[in-house]
Amino acid sequence: MSHFTKVETKITELLFLKKAISDMDLAYEEGKLKAKGWLWKKAKADIIIPTKSGYDIGFQFNGKSYDVVADWDSIGDIDQEDFVNELNQHYAYNVVSDTLAQQGFILAEEKTEGGKIKMTMRKAS
């Protein structure tokens, strides 16, 4: 039996959430939406990512952060844990890059190894 699962995240900034989704090469819709699940079930969402299966991955703002809501059994080809981990990695990358750029740093080098990103930043002259 399929059902919606809600996964709490530490994602608080909508701008960086949207950048993370785009970095994952996923299209999204924004507004007061309903994420589609199995048997026409729906969950409220502020952002939805349509999937190939016809069901959505949604994001609900809970007042502090964004929760991921989806009927993962129906989506099938996207693993919940892998998706959330990749999303968190892209989100953190964008937050760190933006924060350091505001403090006058530039990206000097970036390496990806074993699923981890190593960034070397330098103070701009």
What does the domain layout of the chain look like in residue ranges? 5-123
pLDDT above 80 for 115: no
Task: Evaluate whether 123 touches 100 at the Cβ level (below 8 Å).
Answer: no
State the Cα–Cα distance between residues 45 and 57, nearest whole angstrom: 9
State the Cα–Cα distance between residues 23 and 21, nearest whole angstrom: 5
Predicted pLDDT of residue 71: 94
Q: What is the pTM of this model?
A: 0.89
Predicted pLDDT of residue 2: 62
State the Cα–Cα distance between residues 106 and 62, nearest whole angstrom: 34
Q: Helix, strand or coil for residue 27?
A: coil
Which residues face 32 on adjacent strands? none
Neighbours of 45 (CB within 10 A): 26
Per-residue pLDDT band for 117 (boundaries 50, 70, 90) equals: confident
Per-residue pLDDT band for 62 (boundaries 50, 70, 90) equals: very high
Predicted pLDDT of residue 119: 86
Neighbours of 36 (CB within 10 A): 21
